[in-house]
A = this chain, B = another copy of it.
Amino acid sequence: MHMRMTSQREIILRELQDSHQHLTADELYERVKKIMPRISLATVYRNLEKLSEAGIIGKLEISGRQKRFDSDIHPHDHIYCLECHRVDNIEFDRNLVNPTAVASDKGYRISGYRVEFKGICSTCWAMLNKREDGDKQ
Contacts and interface: CB of A to CB of B under 8 A. Distances in A.
Interface of A: 59, 61, 63-65, 67, 79, 81-82, 88, 90-92, 96-97, 99, 102, 105-122, 125
A108 B96 contact: no
- Copies of this polypeptide in the complex: 2
Contacts of A121: 106-108
B106 A88 contact: yes
B92 A107 contact: no
Given A90-B102, A102-B92, A117 B122 contact: no
A89 to B, nearest CB: 8
Contacts of A96: 96-97
A81 B107 CA distance: 11
Contacts of A107: 121-122, 125
Nearest to A111: B119
Given A61-B63, A96-B96, A115-B97, A102 B108 contact: no
Residue with the greatest number of chain B CB neighbours at <10 A, chosen from A65, A79, A88, A109? A109
14 contacts: A61-B63, A88-B106, A88-B108, A90-B102, A90-B105, A90-B106, A108-B117, A109-B119, A109-B120, A110-B119, A112-B119, A113-B116, A114-B116, A116-B116
